[in-house]
Amino acid sequence: MKYALRNTWICQRGKSPEAMAGFKVVAESYRGMGLPTRLYVDISGDMDVIALELEIDSLDGYFKDQRAFYAGMDDATKGLVDGLNENTSSGSRVLYEIVEF
């Protein structure tokens, strides 16, 4: 079974370009791990929205890797995460099962 995981962030007004620069680094990291990854920006609806979508094979593996990532961050990575947190005001996560047909 495969899953699509979409994380969506509402950026602080005027901070979308700075946030997107950080999310591109994050997306490249996921791609480097072999995970299909996409970034989206709003065209309609809420403004200043960035979404990052991943395809994952295992929920347990994904969340295990996430816990290990946050536990073992180096200073440069902590700076990147802090910058993303400073440029966003809220976020949400939606998990989908991918239906193959």
CATH code for the domain of 28: 3.30.70.100
Tell me the average pLDDT across 9-22: 93
**pLDDT given for residue 72 in this prediction:** 82
CA-CA distance, 94 to 79, in Å (whole number)? 26
Residue 5 near residue 58, CB atoms below 8 Å: no
Residues spanned by the domain of 40: 2-98
CA-CA distance, 19 to 10, in Å (whole number)? 10
The pTM (predicted TM-score) of the whole model is 0.87
In this predicted model, what pLDDT tens digit does every residue of 52-86 receive, in sequence order?
999 999 999 999 988 988 888 888 888 888 989 99
**Residue 46 backbone phi and psi in degrees, to 5:** -60, 145
Kindly calculate the radius of gyration of the chain based on its CA atoms and give it in whole angstroms: 14
